[in-house]
Structure 1
Amino acid sequence: GSVRTSILEDLDVYPRTSRRPSTTPSTAKSLFVACLPFSRYAFVEPAMDMKQDTWLRAHVAMFEAFTGSVPRIVPDNLKTGVIKHPREGEVVLNDAYREMAAHYSAAVLPGRIRAPKDKASVENTVAHVATWVIAGLRQQQFTSLPELRAAIIDRVAAYNAEPFQKRPGSRASVFAAEKQPFLTGLPAAAYEISRWVYGRRVGRNGHVVWERNYYSVPFANIGTTVDLRITDRVLQAYRGTERLTSHLLLPESAANEYRTNDADLPVGEKYRQWDPSRAREWAGRVGPAAVTVVNRIFESVPVDVQGLDAALAVLRLSRRYSAERVEAACRLALAGRVRSPRYAHLQPILATEQDKAAGFRPPRDEPAEHGGFVRGAEYYAGGAK
């Protein structure tokens, strides 16, 4: 029993980078190979590279394939996982690699340099993978990585089901009967690959910039620096070890957009987020013509929020010009042919001071109409000479 427990605690991991011979599948440059030493149960994951994110994602896929984790991971000494492995002293691991292992309650114990016996089982599995996977798929063409991954899963499943030559059963049967029941259960949520960005300054608007977009931080941190942790879905701001706030990450196509948590803003009317109702309140303080302009902007869009930027652009003119002048410009624009004036119509009026000229111009006297111009009876009777 004690020997079996000791064996069950091991997991050897080794990255295999191919030199792309003619028999290698053309869509992958690397193969991540892992196995459980006692059962020799294997896992293979194709990848386009073996950078840090790829290395960590391969581990997450490996644990999901094994449906459990183990107390120890024995990797090779590649730089994406192990920073330093001295003959004497403590092994220095990559921070992200150590964080991933801790998420699965595992310790990373790299094999000694130039000591292949420390990971003999995976070295042997790598040789078998070259035959079962690379050579077995040499005649096939793949157009995407998922397509190649599906083919590799089938080949590895056949490899694990192949009977042993010198012991009863197969890798799959030994894994199911002897190994799988002793694996540690997986966490409720899979590990999320993250990266850290340090020393980002919080702007005067209470937001920090990341990838051309803005994310709010509690207003007490304005002017300070924070550290950002970015995953595939979430951006988190930290100050030291304290997490300040968390946001859903905006898509890569977004630019100059804001993610603002209400809890990050100070309390007070002037700190409210802008919405159509608040824009209408501001227009009411400018004048009735400004209210009409803002209402027509919101009426011209399917959803009120889509007209918010256009309405605020008009109202912000009152910061450069007086409210009276903006109101006069709105009246002048509404008298024209454009039903829904915007910033592009009002700003030239204010810049050229047409609003002032309109204020001094006397109203034009027009004759009253009494049914229009009608020729008299004498015209049709031939009385006109």
Structure 2
Amino acid sequence: MANKLDPMDLKQIITLHLDGYSNRKIGSTLGISRNTVNTYMQLFEGSKYSLEQLLTLDIEQLSELFSSFTTVDTQRHNSLMLYFETVNKARNHPGFTFLYHYAQYAQTVANPYSYTQFMEHYNRKYKEVKGSMKLEHEPGKEMYIDFAGKKLSYIDQNTGEIISVEVFVAILPNSQYTYVQACPSQKKEDLIICCTNALNFYGGVPLAIVSDNLKSAVSRASKYESQINRSFKDFASHYNCIVNPTRIYAPQDKALVENAVHLVYQRIYYPIREMTFFSLEELNAELRRMLITYNQLLFQRKEASRVELFQSVERQYLKALPCTTYQIKDYKRAKVQKIGYVYFSPDKSYYSVPYRYIGHHTMIHYTNTSVEIYYNHLRIAIHKRNPKKGNYNTIKEHLSSTHQSYTSWSPEYFKNQAAPHGVHLVKCVEKILCNVDYPEIGYKRVIGLIQLHKSYGSQRLDKACEIALNANVATYTHIKNILRHNMDLKEAMFQELDANTNHIPVHQNIRGASAYQ
């Protein structure tokens, strides 16, 4: 019911009166009361214009002439306006609906307005000045995401603490198929995990993910060109889609997901308001159960549910999921140290890179399972992540030839190095390594010993080692002196070193023991 008759109705009253209709018949023809027609006829007669002249006036002029008269029941209308003040105060409460408040209003007054007139009067009193555009959403083009403003909670069984959690909401705008998940926070890691679960829930990937200007998604917000968080951009690249943040201060850009959040308040938050949960898993299990019912509810005008529209229309337009699940990546800068390693600060450990990059600045991309090192966008090393602190993680091929040999040092390694030069050299190597407490000291001596073959040849070196072993002086210094003084070449010297052989030569001028009797 309007506040006053439409000016077109006024012209119809005049026309019917001139055609000979009675006020009662005019009222029944136009669907208004006889008293209203009587009142307007009195106003027409009291004006300075004849009925014929009033018919020639345009709508604006008629509206000005008869704007003061109202057909509204003042007392009934005033009580409705007072009730609207109560309604307006509750607008921001989760789960608010006009239908709920209309039901309360209808129970408290004797002659209530219909729901249509209830909304008409409300919208007239609190009308929106700024218009909006109806957006048409192509199937499979976008997925809208947002965090609900109101949190849910669960109770820690060990401490009894009430822990508040965020609620992530995703929606495919064409079918309005909705996904809901509770998560610990709005941090980057939780956002990416929720988006991954949402894509798995839908079983496909849209062309774009439309997000709010969350800090976990957008590094720098802008009305025209926002800067996407690097990890979130990497996530989108893995799933072969793009991230398209909404404009700042423009909630109408994602009105559907905003509406989905309000519906989640009504259809999920409200029914579980008296339930108690003791873990995040329990809470999410109940949300999944409620979500099935929510997505199966029929739209009032489409005669289909969200899940039916998704299965029949939108699902076929989604791109296939990648073969592997995305692992959250993070990034650190690091300079390659002189020893050929980069320092990985999250684990306080070191990872090797090819030695030619020593002194260069690199970018480390890391997940829970791997560490990748890039130089100028080129990956130069990849390691399995080792959470052990202070550990040096080495790939042998990254080291220089000298360093590669060093990493291979062991008793077996040096025995293999000595074997081509003779068995006595191998025995000397074993003896030297057995007589030292610190292996690296023995390794240095053995290296020096084996290197003697370059100056004296393998045959002489092995012979010198045999002499040293017989004399029980198998050390690097003694063997080197044997070779330097050519003792291995003099047969007489071999006899002197043999304790069981008489080293005094036979000669006629030498007297024996009998000469002294």
- In structure 1, how many angstroms separate the alpha carbons of the residues matched to 2:197 and 2:371? 23
Deviation at 1:22, TM superposition (A): 9.6
Preserved contact between residue 26 and residue 142 of structure 1 (Cα < 8 Å): no
- In structure 1, how many angstroms separate the alpha carbons of the residues matched to 2:163 and 2:355? 48
> What SS does the aligned partner of 2:180 have?
strand
- In structure 1, how many angstroms separate the alpha carbons of the residues matched to 2:415 and 2:149? 63
Deviates further, 57-66 or 7-16: 7-16
**CA deviation string 1:7-36 (max 9, x = no partner):** 43122111224356899x955520110101
User: Of 14, 27, 34, which aligns to 2:146?
Assistant: 14
User: Of 341, 345, 355, which aligns to 1:207?
Assistant: 341
Letter of the 1:249 partner, please give it.
Answer: R
Preserved contact between residue 27 and residue 144 of structure 1 (Cα < 8 Å): no
Preserved contact between residue 153 and residue 162 of structure 2 (Cα < 8 Å): no
2:241 matches 1:106: yes
2:204 corresponds to: 68
1:91 corresponds to: 226
Figure out how many residues of one structure are paired with residues of the other and give that number. 297
Task: Give matches, 1:1-385, under 5 Å.
Answer: 6-19=138-151, 26-87=162-223, 89-198=224-333, 200-210=334-344, 211-251=347-387, 254-267=388-401, 270-274=405-409, 277-278=412-413, 288=430, 291-292=433-434, 314-317=438-441
Instruction: Normalising by structure 1, report the TM-score.
Output: 0.68
- In structure 1, how many angstroms separate the alpha carbons of the residues matched to 2:352 and 2:153? 51
- In structure 2, how many angstroms separate the alpha carbons of the residues matched to 1:186 and 1:221? 37
Deviation at 1:233, TM superposition (A): 1.0
Preserved contact between residue 13 and residue 122 of structure 1 (Cα < 8 Å): yes
- In structure 2, how many angstroms separate the alpha carbons of the residues matched to 1:276 and 1:165? 82
Deviation at 1:289, TM superposition (A): 5.7
> What SS does the aligned partner of 2:191 have?
helix
- In structure 2, how many angstroms separate the alpha carbons of the residues matched to 1:21 and 1:150? 14
- In structure 1, how many angstroms separate the alpha carbons of the residues matched to 2:153 and 2:407? 63
- In structure 1, how many angstroms separate the alpha carbons of the residues matched to 2:316 and 2:348? 48
- In structure 2, how many angstroms separate the alpha carbons of the residues matched to 1:30 and 1:180? 28
Preserved contact between residue 175 and residue 310 of structure 2 (Cα < 8 Å): yes
> What SS does the aligned partner of 1:8 have?
coil
CA pair 290-153 structure 1, distance change in 2 beyond 3 A: farther
Higher helix share: 2
Deviates further, 239-248 or 111-120: 111-120
2:41 corresponds to: none
- In structure 2, how many angstroms separate the alpha carbons of the residues matched to 1:147 and 1:166? 35
Deviates further, 156-165 or 109-118: 109-118
**CA deviation string 1:121-177 (max 9, x = no partner):** 111111121233333333333333233222221221221122222222211111111
**CA deviation string 1:297-354 (max 9, x = no partner):** xxxxxxxxxxxxxxxx82135599x89xxxxxxxxxxxxxxxxxxxxxxxxxxxxxxx
Deviates further, 65-74 or 131-140: 131-140
Preserved contact between residue 152 and residue 166 of structure 2 (Cα < 8 Å): no
Deviation at 1:227, TM superposition (A): 1.4
Preserved contact between residue 188 and residue 216 of structure 2 (Cα < 8 Å): yes
**CA deviation string 1:93-115 (max 9, x = no partner):** 22222222222222222223333
CA pair 192-20 structure 1, distance change in 2 beyond 3 A: closer
> What SS does the aligned partner of 1:187 have?
coil
Deviation at 1:292, TM superposition (A): 4.4
- In structure 1, how many angstroms separate the alpha carbons of the residues matched to 2:432 and 2:390? 27
Deviation at 1:280, TM superposition (A): 7.2
- In structure 2, how many angstroms separate the alpha carbons of the residues matched to 1:285 and 1:206? 36
Letter of the 1:315 partner, please give it.
Answer: P
Preserved contact between residue 196 and residue 230 of structure 1 (Cα < 8 Å): yes
> What SS does the aligned partner of 2:292 have?
helix
Q: Which has the larger radius of gyration?
A: 2
**CA deviation string 1:359-385 (max 9, x = no partner):** xxxxxxxxxxxxxxxxxxxxxxxxxxx
CA pair 113-213 structure 1, distance change in 2 beyond 3 A: closer
Letter of the 1:130 partner, please give it.
Answer: Y
Preserved contact between residue 201 and residue 225 of structure 1 (Cα < 8 Å): yes
Percent identical pairs in the alignment equals: 26
Preserved contact between residue 28 and residue 145 of structure 1 (Cα < 8 Å): no
- In structure 2, how many angstroms separate the alpha carbons of the residues matched to 1:72 and 1:188? 19
Preserved contact between residue 20 and residue 26 of structure 1 (Cα < 8 Å): no
CA pair 131-275 structure 1, distance change in 2 beyond 3 A: farther
2:12 corresponds to: none
**Structure 1 unmatched ranges of 5 or more:** 295-312, 324-385
Preserved contact between residue 26 and residue 141 of structure 1 (Cα < 8 Å): no
1:372 corresponds to: none
CA pair 274-181 structure 1, distance change in 2 beyond 3 A: farther
Deviation at 1:282, TM superposition (A): 10
Deviation at 1:179, TM superposition (A): 1.0
2:474 corresponds to: none
- In structure 1, how many angstroms separate the alpha carbons of the residues matched to 2:245 and 2:150? 22
Letter of the 2:212 partner, please give it.
Answer: D
**Structure 2 unmatched ranges of 5 or more:** 1-134, 156-160, 419-425, 447-517
**CA deviation string 1:247-283 (max 9, x = no partner):** 01013xx123232223212235624445673487799
CA pair 5-185 structure 1, distance change in 2 beyond 3 A: farther
